[in-house]
Structure 1
């Protein structure tokens, strides 16, 4: 292993180690406040998101997902599942990745479960990953969330919004969502 590769591996490991510690200490009240703030931002930034929220059987809001990477990367965040307007459970998302990546970023994510079956499968899973069955939209893609026919046939819609920072290769591919106690 060359010195450059070792340094990259070490820097990535340090970044990965620092990500969870910055977020993990959040208590229930802190998560609730962040979720409410993230929803307000989503509704302000993404046309149709309020309508999608009302239609959804449940919405997982991850208001503060922190990503960092230098060849080796990681991401971590905590949020809440909202069903019928009530925060019913708390979840974390964690991801690790290898390859060309550089930077740090904070992002927000809302996952809309549009069918009872999709919501039930998510809640019963012991760790869940965002699968190919979900429609994924990002910031700046111009998607109107209420008017899209691509969304009408999907049981799950994931929306990324409110990104701060810059990251080359910032996808949350392979991310695992797990229930947490708060």
Structure 2
């Protein structure tokens, strides 16, 4: 039964990764934006220093609900909103594939901060992706104190639930759609 649940999570993640963001209804976009606002508040609640990062970043994208599952081969997917000057400028889609030792499923949040227009434009052109060596900082109290931009971006994640054992490689790809 447990393997069936893992397979179900994997199938759902794959389906989510290929569903186009263009087809989202206004209600779904509004729900994603509301979830982004909740996620932002929780990032700041868990690490108060992140408030200044949100305020000083050129732009950022929040993925409030990323689902990830794997059994040998893994996948993750999530929808989010892109902000510039505190206002939503578009919607985004995250998809991830990985291979290696992995089993389980988890849900997490992710926020990517852009240091300048150059990185934001690369993201908006859907030419932005993370390779296997990219790293994200898990949000805990004070975790953001010494974090610096690497190649113009800073990434934070926050665990929401689930359990996943993983020693794998993969990468994340993103797609942007203007509002």
Query: Same-fold call, TM > 0.5?
Result: yes
In structure 2, relative to structure 1, the CA distance for the partners of 1:67 and 1:152 (3 Å cut) is closer
List alignment gaps of at least 5 residues for structure 1. 1-7
Residue of structure 2 in register with 1:115 after alignment: 116
Cross-structure match for 2:165: 168
Q: Give, in angstroms, the shift of residue 139 of structure 1.
A: 3.7
Query: What is the deviation of 1:94?
Result: 0.6
Distance 1:139 1:85, change over 3 A: closer
- The alignment yields a C-alpha RMSD, in angstroms, of 3.1
Name the larger-Rg structure: 1
The alignment partner of 1:110 has SS state of strand
Q: Which runs of structure 2 are paired with 1:61-76 in the superposition (5 Å)?
A: 61-76=62-77
Aligned-residue offset at 1:59:
0.7
The Cα of 1:163 is off from its aligned counterpart by 2.8
Q: Residue in 2 aligned with 1:18?
A: 12
Measure how far apart 1:22 and its partner are. 6.7
Write the distance in 2 (CA, Å) between the matches of 1:133 and 1:118.
Answer: 18
Decide whether aligned partners of structure 1 residues 172 and 97 sit closer, same or farther in structure 2, where only a CA change above 3 A counts: closer
Q: Rate the CA distance shift 1:48–1:131 in 2: closer, same or farther, 3 A.
A: farther
Pairing of 1:21-36 with structure 2 (within 5 A): 21=15, 27-36=28-37
Corresponding residue of 1:51: 52
Aligned pairs, how many?
170
Alignment partners' CA distance in 2, 1:181 and 1:120: 12
The more displaced of 131-140 and 92-101 is 131-140
Quote the offset at 1:103 in angstroms.
0.7
Matches within 5 A, 1:143-154: 143-145=142-144, 147-148=145-146, 150-151=147-148
